[in-house]
Amino acid sequence: MTGGLARYRRLLSGPRMVTCGTAALASKLQGSMFSLSLLFTVADGRSYATAGAVAAVSALGGIAAPARGRLLDRKRYAPVLWGVLALHAALVALIVANEVLHGPLLLTFAAALGANVAAPPVGVVTRVMWRFVTSEDERSTALALDAVLADAGFIVGPVLVGLISSLLAPSAAMVACVLVSTLATLLLLRALAGREPLKSEPGERSWKGALDSVPLRMILGCAVFFSATVGGVEVILASHGGELMGSVLVSVLSVGSITGGLAVGALSPERAARVGRLSLLLVYLCVASALLAFVGDGHAVATVVLAAAVGMAFGPCFVALYGQTADLAPAGTAAETQAWAGAALQGGTALGQAAGAYAYGRWGFGAGMTLVPVFALLGAALALVTERFSLAAVTE
């Protein structure tokens, strides 16, 4: 354990590493704060039903993430990030002003969608950053730290929104989101100063961009199935045993994910590569979630233990996915590739949540949970095919 902690100490003691870690955490807070602060801001003067509709429409703006990534791959990061941030801040200000003045709802819908289309791509740049500021020996530890910070961000972010909304106003939480994005942008540009990825020349670019790579397309499909597993198990556990028990089980998943992420980051690169093979992790996730489905109702302690076991696969899977997508990215598409990875994970989560809610409502906990290992098994099969495909390409 001491040796494992030493790897994190060595990572954070490097030049600019504390800046990188702070930038990573700020980027995670942005993603976890915006939709909730938007919900509270609109609900304050209208209704939660209307606010939920605005948040749902805003979420559609996530489809623009690959386009923002492609722009980062072709232009210098600073003008892109500052330009997008300025547009995002202006649209957030428009939302706040329109809600304070009780303006037309259609304007709020349009501005919320636009604000998410122009969301600063700090999460994408963070994942690119780790590859260019770390050595090969440090990379798995850095990616593990990033996965842990993502879990921490989705715990801390909503709490911050709740506190700011309660103590000041919901609109103040939206302003705080913009400030967090500004902090992340400043720190990321400082961390990557002189170390940005090389830009591709116009003649070298395929119209498909990052999706020109067949193995990358397959690993993105694997990301969809993995995140469907995450979304499915989260919504089923949240619905199980009442509000208190459901909240405990979802928290246990997060604790398990953090524990698994820290554990894989504490390993040497060689051991992390063996333990952190995506196909093996997804097979483990399939088995653990199948056992959770088998336990069913009436075994609270076993359910908590197995929920932790399922969660322990999440962090290492995120590490493996982000590492593999970066390895498979065609030259000059580092940011676009990570944007596609994020989009695949978001889409898979939505799929898993919808399917999980339907399965739980129709069949209950045990039978409904059997959907989760199916997603994990499909992801494992696709990960294995990707590994074989990539190996064959290397040996040719």
d(CA 264, CA 258): 10
Task: Please name the residue that has the structure tokens 């700011």.
Answer: 164
Low-confidence ranges of the chain (pLDDT < 50): 1-2, 394-396
pLDDT at 120: 92
Q: Using the 8-state DSSP alphabet, how is residue 133 labeled?
A: H
pLDDT at 394: 45
pLDDT at 137: 86
Q: Are 260 and 316 in contact (CB under 8 A)?
A: yes
Q: Which residues contact 300 (CB under 8 A, 6 or more apart)?
A: 241, 245
Q: Which residues contact 192 (CB under 8 A, 6 or more apart)?
A: 77, 125, 128, 129, 132, 133
pTM for this prediction: 0.89
pLDDT tens digits, residue range 307-328?
999 999 999 999 999 989 998 9
pLDDT at 392: 58
pLDDT at 62: 86
Task: Please name the residue that has the structure tokens 């995670």.
Answer: 28
pLDDT at 208: 73
Residue type present at position 35: S
pLDDT at 86: 97
Domains of the chain: 14-196 (1.20.1250.20), 208-395 (1.20.1250.20)
The dihedral built from the CA positions of residue 51, 53, 58 and 59, taken in this order, carries a sign that is positive
Q: For the beta carbon of residue 106, count every other beta carbon within 10 angstroms.
A: 9
Q: How far is CA 48 from CA 18, 41, 246, 310, 324, in A?
A: 39, 10, 22, 33, 40
> Helix, strand or coil for residue 169?
coil
pLDDT at 391: 62
pLDDT at 200: 64
Q: For the beta carbon of residue 296, count every other beta carbon within 10 angstroms.
A: 16
